[in-house]
């Protein structure tokens, strides 16, 4: 393939950056999006295969590639696209800026990596394996060349899902003409060697081999003969890693040796258990021996007939390089990130604050540095919108910082602040409120009530109070924070304007629509004056102005304003930026409200295509656009199609976001609406009750959304002729609503 080769009229191949058993990897330019990607061109199918077999293989490729493209985890390389061009099957993946573990070892002259790096890699890979195994995907060819460490410290597994494809349809190198494909001998599990069925525990064994090599500089069975390597995997206990490197922690050695158990049932049950064991071991004090243990001399295995011990396909097998594979030379990803959503949150400020080195209780500087790196990795995940994964990182870092530094140390509080932020973005507002309340009180004691960090925590308290439907309480906190910000920073400081922006939104939730609109206009004008009319923050507030116009029923003006924001964002941020796409979504909302559902339908179809291309089919915003499509299908009376769309979106949201996530519940309610319009009221009642029960469980019995769901349930009971039950439910809702109003909420 030449440098000018264009794949599917879109991906221009620029230079070859890797070659392996499955084909070639090229750095390429996506001409449609103007970004660089990696394109893996798989080896052509054997021309001697018959046509029916070839069709099966191509269909299998498409199915497996879809699986790989659906994987959404920070530790798995993103697959953007796949297809076939001139008989060559290809995949388009994110271009990674980093080195694979094979290259890291080579850079280190095959010396083992630092212990902290090994543990960090182990934790991140365990998390990625746990996610992918939960999706039913086994890698089958895990080795250092298939694991990348990026420049920001993120670790990613490459070819997840595609390795299985290669094993099944013959893209990996074959050992003999028997048609059985194999992985790399140095990292194969005993069950792979015997030709038995493999599951996730085979990946754990392979990963144990990788960790052994990272920890000692060589795989567990580093022999020149392939047969001897396979015998070693099957029959020989590996030399304990600490016999070769005494400073390795005992827990890490035990983890590695347990992963290398010969029988799958003797290994950790799954990658989640592996991750827990690594985390538990890392949080206990390390013991470093002062005397290096002599390396034990292991007895040589007795000679055994190859035919008696190994399958026939091992004859003629060559070893191959123990950690081979070309890494992807890459360009750094775009660093810019705009604000999205209706609320704007101020990031927490980190603090150094390490105890003095001569303090007897000073924690190890290496541990603090590692925690700072993990904290920053969590922030990066948040910037990518991967809130659940970011939350896992911040929760773990907060626990370790509490143990090492104390609960009120600035670094501990910074981690808890970020944990609250992720909780609020994943539908766990009550938990987020607890985190922010603790952080705000601790910061007020240490820094004072008017310190910027204290005010940041209190402002986030107001945000989650709004999420919980406690808009009156949120209003009081916002008003107090705004007064402090104006007093200490001035009325035009960006943080002051951010607070006024959020206060404007909260006013709309209190029913003060005109006040909300007026304040949003004032903030938009101030931001345009201070930051410029095209600044992302200015456009976010103009977006809020459009929202307020919609709340006031002024949908034509809202449509015009959303259109102006979308156009400005496309020019400033690009047509595929998340904020640009968000404004286009709101244009669809406005069109639907104006009765222009046919126009809305076209907009949503285009938006879904763009979201699929940019973010993937399971991304929350892709699903949000599909939800809008379903709503407008219903408005056009196409209820069978609307119901099918709503059910599909609901199922994906339940799997990706969880059954109690607000977006999942919105989809479930839309399913109930469709059932009702089709006259299937008994089925609709079941769905309405599930929504009401979940909202009551998560938000409380008197939350406005819970009460709205109970009203839906009562309406459904009326349609079924169960009027007495409906009246009783309406009465209960009225009592709860009155109690909420009397309580000042």
Cα torsion 250, 254, 255, 256 to 10°: value is 100
List CB contacts of 216: < 8 A, sequence separation 6 or more: 112, 241, 244, 245
Q: How far apart are CA 381 and CA 389, in angstroms?
A: 7
Q: Which residues contact 480 (CB under 8 A, 6 or more apart)?
A: 458
Q: Rounded CA gap, 643 and 645, in Å?
A: 5
Closest CA to 141 of 168, 159, 123: 159
Active-site pick, 30, 117, 120, 141: 141
DSSP 8-state code for residue 185: G
Strand residue runs (E) in 242-311: none
Paired tokens of 402: 């509490």
Q: Nearest-CA neighbor of 228 among 140, 144, 151, 303?
A: 303
Sign of the CA dihedral 457, 458, 463, 468? positive
Nearest Cα neighbor of 220 from 231, 202, 208, 203 is 208
- Specify whether the CB–CB gap between 313 and 175 falls below 8 A: yes
149 - beta bridge partners?
A: 99, 155
Smallest CA-to-CA distance from 190 within 262, 265, 260 is with 262
634-642: long-range contacts at Cβ-Cβ below 8 A with a sequence spacing of 24 or more?
634/670, 634/673, 634/674, 634/677, 635/592, 635/597, 636/597, 636/598, 636/601, 639/674, 639/677, 639/678, 640/678, 642/670, 642/674
Name the β-bridge partners of 29: 12, 36
Instruction: Write out the DSSP string of 8-62.
Output: TTTEEEEEEEEEETTEEEEEEEETTTTEEEEEEEEPPPPTTS-HHHHHHHHHHHH
- The rounded distance, in Å, linking the Cα atoms of 477 and 489 is 18
The span from the CA of 419 to the CA of 394, in Å, is 5
| 40 known ligand binder | yes
Is 141 a known active-site residue? yes
H and E: helices and strands count for the chain: 28, 9
Give the SS3 label for residue 699: helix
Give dist(CA 731, CA 452) in Å, integer: 46
**What is the total residue count of the chain?**
745
- Which residue intervals of 510-554 are DSSP H helices? 513-531, 536-551
DSSP 8-state assignment for residue 174: B
Q: What is d(CA 72, CA 137) in angstroms, rounded to the nearest whole number? A: 13
Binding site as annotated, residues: 40
Catalytic residues: 141
Annotated binding site for ATP, which residues?
40
């Amino acid at each position: 393939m030449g440098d000018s080769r264009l794949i599917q009229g879109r991906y221009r191949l620029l230079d070859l950056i890797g070659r392996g058993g499955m084909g070639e990897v090229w750095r390429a330019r996506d001409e449609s999006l103007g970004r660089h990607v990696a394109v893996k061109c798989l080896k052509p199918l054997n021309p001697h295969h018959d046509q029916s077999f070839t069709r099966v293989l191509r269909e299998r490729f498409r199915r497996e590639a879809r699986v790989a493209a659906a994987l959404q985890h920070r530790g798995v390389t993103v697959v953007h696209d796949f297809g076939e061009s001139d008989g060559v099957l290809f995949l388009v993946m994110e271009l990674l800026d980093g080195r694979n573990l094979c290259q890291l070892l080579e850079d280190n002259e095959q010396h083992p990596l630092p212990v902290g790096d090994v543990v960090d890699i182990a934790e991140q890979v365990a998390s990625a394996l746990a996610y992918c195994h939960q999706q039913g995907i086994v890698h089958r060819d895990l080795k250092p060349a298939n694991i990348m460490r990026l420049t920001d410290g993120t670790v990613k597994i490459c070819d997840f899902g595609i390795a299985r494809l290669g094993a099944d349809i013959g893209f990996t190198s074959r050992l003999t003409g028997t048609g059985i494909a194999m992985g790399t001998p140095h990292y194969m599990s005993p069950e792979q060697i015997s030709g038995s069925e493999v599951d996730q525990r085979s990946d754990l064994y392979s990963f144990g081999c990788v960790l052994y090599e990272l920890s000692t500089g060589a795989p567990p069975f580093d022999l020149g003969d392939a047969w001897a390597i396979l015998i070693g995997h099957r029959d020989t206990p590996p030399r304990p890693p600490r016999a070769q490197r005494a400073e390795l922690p005992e827990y890490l050695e035990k983890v590695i040796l347990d992963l290398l158990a010969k029988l799958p049932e003797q290994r950790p049950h799954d990658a989640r258990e592996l991750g827990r064991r690594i985390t538990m071991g890392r949080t206990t004090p390390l013991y470093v021996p002062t005397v290096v243990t002599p390396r034990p001399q292991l007895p040589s295995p007795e000679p055994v007939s190859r035919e008696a011990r190994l399958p026939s396909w091992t004859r003629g097998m060559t070893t191959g390089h123990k950690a081979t594979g070309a890494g992807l030379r890459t360009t750094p990803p775009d660093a810019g990130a705009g604000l999205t959503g209706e609320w704007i949150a101020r990031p927490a400020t980190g603090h150094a604050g390490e105890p003095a080195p001569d303090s007897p209780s000073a924690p190890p500087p290496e541990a603090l540095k590692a925690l700072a790196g993990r904290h920053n990795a969590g922030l990066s995940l948040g910037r990518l919108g991967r809130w659940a994964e970011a939350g896992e990182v911040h929760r773990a870092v907060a626990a370790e910082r509490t143990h090492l530094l104390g609960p009120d140390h600035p670094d501990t509080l910074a981690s808890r602040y970020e944990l609250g932020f992720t909780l609020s973005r994943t539908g766990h507002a009550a938990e987020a409120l607890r985190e922010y309340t603790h952080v705000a009180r601790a910061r007020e004691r240490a820094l004072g009530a008017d310190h910027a960090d204290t005010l940041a925590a209190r402002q986030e308290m107001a945000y989650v109070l709004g999420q919980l439907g406690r808009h009156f309480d949120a209003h009081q906190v916002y008003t107090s924070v705004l007064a402090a910000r104006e007093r200490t920073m001035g009325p035009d400081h960006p943080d002051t304007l951010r607070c006024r922006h959020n206060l404007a939104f909260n006013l709309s939730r209190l029913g003060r629509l005109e006040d909300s609109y007026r304040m949003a206009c004032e903030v938009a004008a101030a931001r345009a004056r201070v930051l410029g009319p095209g600044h992302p923050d200015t456009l976010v507030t103009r977006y809020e102005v459009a929202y307020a116009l919609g709340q006031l029923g002024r949908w034509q003006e809202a449509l015009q304003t959303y259109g102006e924001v979308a156009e400005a964002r496309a020019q400033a941020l690009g047509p595929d930026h998340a904020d640009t796409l968000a404004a286009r979504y709101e244009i669809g909302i406005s069109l639907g409200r104006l009765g222009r559902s046919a126009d809305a339908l076209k907009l949503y179809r285009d938006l879904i295509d763009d979201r699929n291309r940019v973010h993937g089919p399971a991304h929350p915003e892709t699903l949000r656009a599909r939800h809008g499509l379903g709503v407008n299908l219903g408005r056009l009376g196409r209820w069978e199609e609307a119901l099918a769309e709503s059910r599909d979106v609901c199922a994906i949201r339940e799997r990706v976001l969880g059954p109690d996530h607000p977006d999942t519940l919105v989809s479930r309610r839309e399913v109930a609406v469709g059932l009702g319009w089709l006259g299937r009221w008994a089925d609709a009642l079941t769905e309405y009750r599930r929504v009401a029960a979940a909202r009551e469980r998560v938000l409380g019995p008197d939350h406005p959304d819970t009460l709205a769901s109970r009203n839906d349930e009562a309406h459904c009971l009326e349609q079924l002729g169960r009027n007495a039950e409906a009246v009783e439910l309406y009465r209960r809702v009225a009592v709860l609503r009155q109690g909420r109003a009397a309580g000042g909420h």
